[in-house]
Structure 1
Amino acid sequence: MTAIEQYLIDTYRSAQHEDPPPPPPGRDDVAVLRAARSYGQFQAVLEGRPANHPWRAALRRLLARHRTCQ
């Protein structure tokens, strides 16, 4: 059963019991990823490592690789 099928069944059941419908699948995915990133940065600070933004670090690596190829 897919997530959409389960969502439709849960929505039907909540309507039968006059409960509020469940949130659609994938609604909070971005918030969960942001929270995981923030937690990783927090752990880095506690361990004494720099808490750099992961996109900046990836961009820095790409730019450094680009400079060495020229």
Structure 2
Amino acid sequence: MSVTQQYLLDTYRARQLGVPVPPAPGTHDWRVVREWHDHRRFRAVLAGRPVRGRVRRALRRWWAARSHATG
């Protein structure tokens, strides 16, 4: 059964029982991504790591090590 079929079945059952209809699939996807991002930032603070610029800083270190090895 696909997600859409399950949602339609759940919607039908909810209407028959008179209870609130469940949210459509994908309704809260951005909220989940935002919460995951906030949680990662929180864990970085607890670990004493910088919250912003970690990827750029890692790329800069990688590039510097690469240029010293070749040059």
Q: What TM-score does the superposition give when structure 2 sets the normalisation length?
A: 0.73
Q: Does 1:24 align with 2:24?
A: yes
CA distance in 1, matches of 2:43, 2:16: 45
Equivalence for 2:10: 10
| Partner AA of 2:11 in structure 1 | T
SS of 2:26 mapped into structure 1: coil
Equivalence for 2:49: 49
1:6 CA displacement: 0.3
Unaligned runs of 5+ in 2: 64-71
Say what the alpha-carbon RMSD is for the aligned residues: 2.2
1:34-64 Cα deviation digits (max 9, x unpaired): 100100000000100001167xx46xx5xxx
| Partner AA of 1:38 in structure 2 | D
| Partner AA of 1:19 in structure 2 | V
Greater Rg, structure 1 or structure 2? 2
| Partner AA of 1:46 in structure 2 | L
Q: Name the % identity.
A: 41
Change (3 A) 1:26 1:32: same
Count of residue correspondences: 60
